[in-house]
Amino acid sequence: MIGQTISHYKILEKLGEGGMGIVYKARDTELDRFVALKFLPPYLASDSVEKERFYHEARAASALNHPNIATIHEIKEFEDRLYLAMEFIDGKTLKATAAQENLSIQKVLDIAIQVCDGLAAAHEKGVVHRDIKSDNIMLTPRGQVKIMDFGLAKVKGATKLTKAGSTIGTAAYMSPEQAQGLEVDHRSDIFSFGVVLYELITGRLPFQAEHQAALVYSLINEDPQPLARFNDKASPELERIVLKALAKDRDERYQHVDDLLADLRHERKGLEYARAGYARSTATGMVSVQPGKGKRLLKFVVPAGAADALIALAIVFNPFNFQISTQKSNAASEPNSLAVMYFENIPDPEDKDHTGEMLSNLLITALFQTKNLEVISRERLYDIRKELGEGDSKAIPPSMATKIAQRAGVSMMLLGSILQKEPMLAVTYRLIEVQGGKILSTRRLAGFPQDKVFSLADTLALLVKDDLNLTSATDAKSVAEVTTKSAEAYRSYLEGVDLEAKFSFEDSKGALRRAIELDSNFAIAYNAVARVEFRTGQNSEGSGDLRRAYQLRKNVSERERLQIEAAFAQNIEKDPLSTVRILEQLIEKYPGEQLAYRTLALEYFRKFYDPERAIQKLTSGLKRDPMDKSLWNMLGYGYASIGKRPDAFDAVDHYMNLAPGEPNPYDTKGDLYFLFGERDSAVIWYRKAVAIRSDYGSNGSLAADAIGRQDYERAREYLLRLHAPTDFSPVISAHQGKLRKAQEDLLADLSAHRNQHLPDLMERDYLPLLLNAYDLGDYPAMVKYAKARCDLLKNDPGNKVYGRDALAWAYLKAGDTRMYRKVVEDLKEAANEPIAFIQIGKSITSALFSFEQGDYTAAARQYREALKMGRSKAQPQLPFAVSLLKTGQIEEAVRELHRVAEWYPTGYTDPLAGVLPTEIYWIIASVKAHYWLGVAHEGAGQEDEAIKEYEKFLQIWKDADFKSSELEDARAHLARLKGGASMKGTAPN
């Protein structure tokens, strides 16, 4: 047939011949690819029953789609012969490979795992091979396994010993039930694969005889020789696996290929540990006790000093018939600090049901309640994994586990595996000394039902504490008591937390909401969803969920209780003193809580404006973990706030060295250059940030810079890259002097947010509307927007000012002296706390009121006091600059006006951010600064400079759509200056 074209296949060469036909290599002329054509025996086409059976089996096999199963492209007939067009595989059979190579155990396991993967996929679809043998499995040069001939074995005569073409070699792979002519199921494939596995390890078949009758007897009655007789590299565990696969009684065999697969993967993991320098352990001291009838479940609540006793009780009163296997060494001599690594889910490598993730996190929670043991939190481990490029990976190879543990600065690490999930959970763990890799203890537990994962975690915690000779806290609780009793709720919680870490906030909220629906008392789920809601600006929802978490805080561990109480004090009570006190307590009890250092530093910086204390907390955190990127980042801003330029840039350079491929270090460096007045240098670094990630937040800074340069099209391009839901048109319109257009757009946003019932976004809409109305001279509208904003803000009982500073300002501008004084008096009582944040806001507000009443001397003094608290890098204030000018302090006024003209919001944490009103719509103030610079230069007799600034102001607002006294005055002054006559002292009030 070589050279013939059959259908669209041109036959090129013969590949082989067997009992089920002849195989040719051919070219598919339509798709231009090589295929294998298998022509089946002639009798199949003439026997209608067998032909239909073949079509049925072949169709089922052709539906299998798996990388370890050879694909069947189509089934056809040619000259009364059936043939299959199959995937052509360039490689060797396992039979040839085993004969030609001395395969290592590692390579055997790699092959075996792939075969099991393919069989598992087929069995899941109800397809049984029935003719697994080393001749039916191919291995490509790249090491990929392909199982051949699915769908053929059920055809009459295909595996009968008496059929023509059948050989003793084929019979040697049959299961005992198959050899006896009994009905077979997927367990027959497991036996046949056990034969292949034995062959790969030893180079010989387990059952051998000179004729078929003797071979059948051997299959049914004789045991194979031990693996170690032919390969001394085969471990006792591998021996156990092979013998279980080859069990004569199929009920004693592996019941599912997934179970075999799990054991093979665990054995391969053992080899990885050995290569990574860890000793292999042997299970000893197996204990198994059958529970008595009616025996009640033991609750794993651990009183102080009772770890040993409870482990004994857990074994004696063994409710789940669990089994514990132990091997111990002396405990580490270093201080007790532990990183619990991910429990590898061997039956489910992708951990789709989160069982591995659940177990590791529940164990961490349980161990947090242990005296004299520092346990690294899951959040910190995730941060470290992300820094090391393993953030999206679930399983952790041993070599990476060591790096993570070293990075965390712990003395010990725990590596675990879930060996099986059905019918009962079986797990193992190794407690390893990080320095040197010494195994301190190994444990294996079996016999826990899947729905008892919480009890399993409690038991694991008891064993770990026993390994370390430690006791629990006196008020220790079971993990179910401090998390949830619902495994499904905990799975949804973990899913939500993982999605939050990946910035998938909407999906995260959905998963966390599911967790709460499953358990309405799940405190940490409420806390987590509140955190996400605050991050996405849903402050009302976040406040409600945080309140619920606070109510349920007795249902969490002490560490999480302190976290919830700190969040409640910070976000609900708005009490900086309580927030700081709780956070200080948290890091005292849990010094590895890196997030607490960050939050403390922010509180000292923002609320107390004590940058030195903030820097102290940041450096304390860095002493514990000198590779904490976020702390280096914040330290750079901290030093910048007090004018320490070299220290600021040194900190951000440390940050950049730790994260050279991330955009944020470059963005931070841009911010620092901007804060030190080097705008062009800042832009260079912002561009480097967006070169790494095109949609990064640095686009906002670049857009602000482009707006300042009147490059509005480029600004729009930068803003579009942010993919933000906010419409930035009002910002650009305001810079162009189109304040009425900006007002229309802002009102449209407000209407949309009102219709969508988004009060948080409505509150944010009212502030620019109020500020815009101020510049339009529409003071009644100012009052209207200020009152509406107050109505929204006062729903937050922790906000004692709730926008009344802006309301007083609006009443003052509207000429309602009585209401202005009333609101001011109310504010004095509300803003009496001796906290820098409150006092800065109070001084800024008083200065603004003095400015609006024309008392420029008082305004300048009050602004100076406030800005002294806010240090040199605080946001510049246009009223302060004008007050300086009005009081004759021209040189200082010019410096401040230049700052106003050049300033725009950055990532810098300004201590004045959120203090209302800290600025009058910065985008408008930056333009007006040019007008006032013209006035200042003209007053100083610097006419050329004055002309330049007036022209700049008029050019930016050339298309203004409102009547402005500054515009009219600038035109008049410019005309006089160009005509040679100065108009000193005629600037508008």
Question: Do both 144 and 224 map to the same domain?
Answer: yes
Query: Domain total for the chain?
Result: 2
For residues 377 and 308, membership in a common domain is answered with: yes
| pLDDT score, position 720 | 86
pLDDT band at 235 (very low <50, low <70, confident <90, very high): confident
Residue 278 pLDDT grade (very low, low, confident, very high; cuts 50, 70, 90): very low
Distance separating alpha carbons of residues 292 and 294, to the nearest angstrom = 6
CA distance 815 to 824: 14
| CA 94 – CA 140 distance, rounded (Å) | 10
Give the residue numbers annotated as catalytic, written as ranges. Answer: 131
205: its two tokens = 């078949």
Q: Give a yes or no: residue 474 inside a domain.
A: yes
CB 469 within 8 A of CB 371: no
More confident residue, 937 or 150: 937
- pLDDT tens string 318-358: 433 444 455 544 444 346 889 998 888 888 887 787 888 89
Q: Specify whether 348 is located in the same domain as 473.
A: yes
> pTM here?
0.61
Contacts 24+ apart (CB under 8 A), 860-865: 860/884, 860/887, 860/889
Q: Residue 864: inside a domain, yes or no?
A: no
Q: One-letter amino acid identity for 7? A: S
Give the pLDDT band of residue 272 (cuts 50, 70, 90). Answer: low
Q: Alpha-carbon distance 67 to 480, whole Å?
A: 41
pLDDT of residue 873: 54
Q: Output the CA angle 501-502-508, nearest 5 degrees.
A: 75
Nearest 10 degrees: Cα torsion 861, 865, 871, 874: -60
Q: Are residues 309 and 262 part of one domain?
A: no
Contact at 8 Å (CB) between 463 and 327? Answer: no
- pLDDT (tens digit per residue) in 721-768: 876 555 678 889 999 999 999 999 999 989 988 998 888 788 888 988
pLDDT at 642 over 90: no
Half-sphere exposure of 664 (CA within 13 A, CB side): 14
| Residue 330 lies in domain | 298-482
Structure tokens at 972: 């008049």
List, in sequence order, every residue forming a beta bridge with 448; answer none if it has no partner.
425
**Residue 287 pLDDT > 50, yes or no?**
no
Calculate Rg over the CA atoms of the chain.
38
CB-based contact 950:989 (threshold 8 Å): no
Residue 342: alpha-carbon gap to chain centroid: 14
- Is 196 within a domain? yes
Say yes or no: 120 and 206 in one domain: yes
Mean pLDDT over 923-951 rounds to 94
Q: Is residue 516 predicted with pLDDT exceeding 70?
A: yes
CA-wise closest residue to 512 among 549, 527, 501:
527
Q: For residue 639, is it left (φ>0), alpha (ψ between -120 and 50) or beta?
A: alpha
Half-sphere exposure of 957 (CA within 13 A, CB side): 30
CB 19 within 8 A of CB 162: no
| Preceding amide of 917 cis, omega within 30 | yes
pLDDT at site 980: 65
What burial class does residue 260 get, using C-beta atoms within 10 Å of its C-beta: 0-12 exposed, 13-18 middle, 19+ buried? buried
Q: Are 859 and 909 in contact (CB under 8 A)?
A: no
Of 21-25, 352-356, 627-631, 857-861, the one with minimum mean pLDDT is 352-356
207 and 344 part of one domain: no
Claim to verify: residue 245 and residue 314 sit in the same structural domain: no
- Cα–Cα dist 358/361, whole Å: 5
**Looking at this protein, which amino acid is placed at residue 618?**
L
Of these ranges, 57-66, 721-730, 875-884, the one predicted with the greatest mean pLDDT is 875-884
Q: Which of 168, 148, 128 is nearest to 21 (CA)?
A: 148
Asked, for residue 701, whether it belongs to a domain, the answer is no
* pLDDT of 910 over the 50 cut: no
Would you state the pLDDT for residue 918? 36
Chain-centroid distance, C-alpha 662 = 15
Kindly state whether residues 270 and 342 are assigned to the same domain: no
Alpha-carbon gap, residue 237 to 163, rounded angstroms: 38
Q: At which residue do the structure tokens 């204990």 appear?
A: 287
Same domain, 305 and 416: yes
Report the run of H or E that residue 702 belongs to, with start and end.
Answer: helix 698-708
The owner of tokens 């729009």 is: 716
DSSP string, 321-353: --EEEEEE-PPPSS--EEEEEEEEETTSTT-TT
Same domain, 67 and 186: yes
Tokens of 330: 């002396």
The end-to-end CA distance of the chain, in Å, is: 103
429: exposed, middle or buried (Cβ count in 10 Å: 0-12, 13-18, 19+): buried
The reported pLDDT for the residue numbered 801 is: 78
Tokens 């670049």 belong to 702
**pLDDT over 70 (residue 314):** no
According to the model, what pLDDT value does residue 593 have? Answer: 85
- Residue 82 has a CB neighbour count (10 Å cut-off) of 22
Integer Cα distance of 348 and 113 in angstroms: 13
Do 428 and 456 meet the contact criterion of CB atoms below 8 Å apart?
Answer: no
Query: Looking at residues 228-238, what average pLDDT do you find?
Result: 85
Q: Is 1 inside any structural domain?
A: yes
- Sign (positive or negative) of CA dihedral 62, 64, 67, 69: negative
Tell me what the mean pLDDT of segment 208-230 comes to.
Answer: 85
66 in any annotated domain: yes
Cis amide leading into 423 (omega within 30):
yes
| Of residues 868 and 601, more confidently modeled | 601
Q: Is 459 found in the same domain as 359?
A: yes
88 domain-assigned: yes
CATH number at residue 161: 1.10.510.10
Q: Are residues 56 and 113 in the same domain?
A: yes
Share of the chain above pLDDT 90, in %: 40
CA 778 to chain centroid, in Å, comes to 48
Closest of 514, 575, 513, 577 to residue 544, by C-alpha? 513
pLDDT band with cut points at 50, 70 and 90 for residue 975: very high
Q: Encode pLDDT of 243-265 as tens digits.
A: 999 999 998 899 889 889 888 98
Q: Give the residue from 474, 425, 436, 437 showing the smallest Cα distance to 305.
A: 474
Buried b (16+ CB within 10 A) or exposed e, 960-979: bebebebbebbeebbeebee
Is 41 among the domain residues? Answer: yes
- Rounded Cα distance between 730 and 595, Å, is 37
d(CA 330, CA 896): 67
pLDDT at 595: 86
* Residue where a domain stops, chosen among 416, 450, 482: 482
Predicted confidence band of residue 773 (pLDDT cuts 50, 70, 90): very high
Residue that is last in its domain, among 242, 275, 308: 275
| pLDDT higher than 70, residue 308 | no
Question: What is residue 25's three-state secondary structure?
Answer: strand
Summarised one tens digit per residue, pLDDT across range 41-52 is 776 666 777 777
**What pLDDT is stored for residue 277 in this prediction?**
43
Alpha-carbon span 313 to 309, nearest angstrom: 6
Give the end of a domain, one of 225, 241, 275. Answer: 275
Backbone angle region of 782, left / alpha / beta, with phi > 0 → left and psi within -120 to 50 → alpha: alpha
Q: Give the single-character DSSP code of 537.
A: T
Percent of the chain with pLDDT over 70: 84
Higher pLDDT pick, 551 / 226 = 551
